[in-house]
Amino acid sequence: MPFHFTLSCPIPIQQYPTILLAHGGGGRLMHQLIEQMFLPIFGSPNDVQHDAAVLSLSSNRIAFTTDSYVVRPLFFPGGDIGSLAVHGTVNDLAMAGARPLYLSLGFILEEGLPMETLWRVVQSIKQAADSANVKIVTGDTKVVDRGKGDGIFINTAGVGILEHNQRINPTSVQPGDIILLSGDVGRHGIAIMAMREGLEFETTIESDSASLADLVGELLSANIEIHCLRDLTRGGLASALNEIASAANVAINIDEQKIPVREDVRGACELLGLDPLYIANEGRFIAFVPSFDAERARGIMEADQEKRGDAKTACAIGEVREQPAKSVILNSKIGVDRLLEMLSGEQLPRIC
């Protein structure tokens, strides 16, 4: 069933329309923020307010990750800083082959932030967490002086359990592995850039921000042999491939013509002088699987896209070879091989 939110902010806006320093001071206003906004939407009647959450885990193999989110602007086509924080942390756990269970949530709020803005972000976090089937179990709030922050920064940590015996990490990658890409690339970074700079294109480019945990779970449930997974966040596809080639001491060969890039994204990249292979995504990943499982895995990815109502763009983009070690070779559209190097600078800052 869809989650229904209260339309109005529970904090008395007439009294406190914006965040005050006192909302992070440990006194009455901070407790009002926690008890009237955070606990009703994230907690349950049986929760005990304490310095740490006590968790029950059904496996002695767990994954643990942490991340921080400073995206600007806070709201963008296809998402916002709240849903992005949930998706990013859940996806990091999924890339380890873990089923995400619990998240922590730390807010750094700037004095003067409209209370309604915070409420929108909180609702988005709740909706994204419910959709990903994870629970917010602990958190923290700090308030900084006006002009010392940028509205909202969010820190999250996540815990998940591994319910399989596969060893999913870059050192498991082997020559002969097929590289699968779960969908088109470049949308998140371009959506942020367009919103930030006030750029207008013929169509609105929406972020691909989404949880990948269910899809990874389906691959594991189908007993797909997975050697490595990596989500394509900062630095995009090119950086992820370089990181894995270096860690596994292998060569990665990919075919540029097989990499799906939407025409509106490609056009925006040409206009802005950007390479879509280096642009961040928040709902895409690559999977390294042996050749005998590649087609079956691709079919599962396509079925997931169909279920979401997306175009079927999951595909095999290349393979792993032995030499030249620690390199990524791109076969370009004109048939020329070139070295696809690690991003040397920051193309798009503040995109996550």
Lowest mean pLDDT of 182-186, 273-277, 288-292, name the range. 273-277
Residues 83/125, Cβ–Cβ less than 8 Å: yes
Taking only the tens place, the pLDDT of each residue in 224-238 is 999 999 999 989 999
pLDDT digits (tens, 9 = 90+) for 10-42: 766 557 789 999 898 888 888 888 888 888 889
Residue 211: HSE in the Cβ half-sphere, 13 Å Cα cutoff: 22
The 8-class DSSP code of residue 18 comes to B
* Under 8 Å between Cβ of 218 and 308: no
Nearest to 95 by CA among 252, 274, 270, 282: 282
Q: Quote the pLDDT of residue 2.
A: 46
pLDDT in tens, 145-181: 999 999 999 999 999 999 999 999 999 999 999 999 9
Per-residue pLDDT tens for 200-232? Answer: 887 889 999 999 999 999 999 999 999 999 999
Task: Please write the tens of the pLDDT for every residue from 271-286.
Answer: 888 999 999 999 999 9
pLDDT, tens only, 64-104? 999 999 999 999 999 999 999 999 999 999 999 999 999 99
Of 8 and 2, the structure prediction assigns the larger pLDDT to 8
C-alpha pair distances (Å), 149 with each of 39, 72, 241: 24, 12, 34
CA-to-CA distance for 336 and 19, rounded, in angstroms?
Answer: 56
**pLDDT tops 90 at residue 295:** yes
Q: Find the angle CA(308)-CA(311)-CA(312) to the nearest 5 degrees.
A: 95
pLDDT at 1: 42
Q: What pTM value is reported for the model?
A: 0.93
Sheet of 178-181: strand order equals 228-231, 285-289, 178-181, 315-321, 251-255, 327-331, 337-339
